[in-house]
Amino acid sequence: MVVKRQELPRDALGLGLRIPHYGYLFEHWPELGYFEIISENFLGDALPPRRHLDLVRERYPIVLHGVGLNLLGHAQLDSAYLDKLCWLAEYVNAPFVTDHLCWTGAHGISHHDLLPTPYTADLVGMAAERAAFVQRQLGRPFGLENLSSYVEFDSSTLTEWEFYGAVVRDSGCWSMLDVNNIYVSSQNHDFSPEAYLNAIDFSRVLQVHVAGHSRESNGIIIDTHDHPVADAVWRLYAEAWRQGGPFPTLLEWDDHIPPMPEVLSELAKAARIRA
């Protein structure tokens, strides 16, 4: 039997699925457009995560968000990992799958972090070819997330948004636009977040992420996902919506996670902002 791939309404609001919310979720099943899961949390063989996922997928659409593809790693993509990802996407009938435009490991070591590179024209072709391959394997839209970062490199010949836009365009894939990441990087590297946003082709935006961050005493902003979304990020979100809405919007909260009603209330701000 061929199962039709789910699609999300363009104005859907979603949340990152997190374990501390399971108690509330499984009791109340709040109204929500969709959940996003961290792919790697469900790729393994462990039974409990799978059973929890089964409960959620019966009631909500689920999209996949990965942190381990290593698209910009010097080595070839891990085909065993990709096979598992394809399986999971089918299992939850994901409307789409996303991961980051970054590297996460090298020389056989996985760093479990989202790491920056110099942005150069010769990297665009490799990244685009790999992303296109991933999308073909998945058989569904594949979105690339722009990175938040704390360092840039002199050897870059492109701005981050030029690099990001070129990879999305040349691959035929999609943008998973994180407006908090734009803001974090803009503050850390002294560029205009609006300039970044103006360079985005909104016809290719698959989903937008919002999240909180933390400002250190030295002025650097760390992408911690442990606070409510900052006002400046909501303003950037409003501008993105004005320029390119509607698009599915997802709130990520990964540390110091408050009770689910509080997180849902933070997400509801998105609906108010764009009303």
Partner 1 sequence: MTTRPSPEWLEAFQARFSQMLRTPLDRRSGTLRASPASYDPRLARDAVRGAKLSSPERLAIYNRQYWFRLFTVFHGAFPLTTRLLGHFCFNEYASRFLLAHPPKVWDIDAVVDGFEDFLVLALPSPTVTVDPRGRSVERAAVLQASRIDAAYHHVFRAPACTAFRPSAGDAERLLTSRLQPSPAAAVLEEDWPLCELRRALLGDPAETPAPLPPRLAQPRHWLLVRSSTKIGQLPIEAQEARLLALLGLFPVGEALAQLEQECGPVERDLLPARTQKWLARSVEHGLWVGLSDQ
Hey, is 209 helix, strand or coil?
strand
Amino acid identity for residue 46 in this structure = A
Closest CA to 101 of 59, 146, 138: 146
Strands 103-106 and 109-115: antiparallel
> 144 - beta bridge partners?
99, 175
Hey, is 29 helix, strand or coil?
coil
- Is residue 27 near partner 1 by the rule CB under 8 A? no
- Is residue 52 near partner 1 by the rule CB under 8 A? yes
- Is residue 130 near partner 1 by the rule CB under 8 A? yes
- Is residue 10 near partner 1 by the rule CB under 8 A? no
Give phi and psi for 78, each to the nearest 5.
-80, 110
Gyration radius of the chain over CA positions:
18
Judged by phi (left if over 0) then psi (alpha if -120 to 50, else beta), residue 222 lies in: beta
Pick 117 or 175: Cβ nearer partner 1 = 117
C-beta of 72: minimal distance to partner 1 in Å?
Answer: 8
d(CA 136, CA 118): 27
C-beta of 51: minimal distance to partner 1 in Å?
Answer: 5
- Is residue 58 near partner 1 by the rule CB under 8 A? no
Pick the piece of the chain touching partner 1 (CB under 8 A) from 8-16, 153-161, 164-172, 173-181. Answer: 153-161
d(CA 111, CA 190): 27
Closest CA to 11 of 207, 242, 261, 209: 207
Pick the piece of the chain touching partner 1 (CB under 8 A) from 87-95, 116-124, 167-175, 235-243. Answer: 116-124
- Is residue 86 near partner 1 by the rule CB under 8 A? no
Closest CA to 183 of 245, 228, 231: 231
Pick 22 or 202: Cβ nearer partner 1 = 22
C-beta of 155: minimal distance to partner 1 in Å?
Answer: 5
- Is residue 250 near partner 1 by the rule CB under 8 A? no
C-beta of 45: minimal distance to partner 1 in Å?
Answer: 4
- Is residue 23 near partner 1 by the rule CB under 8 A? no
Residues 6+ apart with CB under 8 A from 7: 95
- Is residue 91 near partner 1 by the rule CB under 8 A? no
Pick 51 or 272: Cβ nearer partner 1 = 51
Pick the piece of the chain touching partner 1 (CB under 8 A) from 88-96, 159-167, 184-192, 235-243. Answer: 184-192
Among 195, 220, 268, 271, binds partner 1 (CB under 8 A): 220
Q: At what angle do helices 121-138 and 79-91 cross, to 10 degrees?
A: 50
C-beta of 149: minimal distance to partner 1 in Å?
Answer: 9
Pick 52 or 140: Cβ nearer partner 1 = 52
d(CA 236, CA 196): 10
Task: Summarize as ranges the residues that interact with partner 1 (CB under 8 A).
Answer: 40, 43-48, 50-52, 68, 72-79, 81-82, 103, 105-113, 115, 117-118, 120, 122-123, 125-126, 129-130, 133, 137, 150-155, 188-190, 218-220, 222
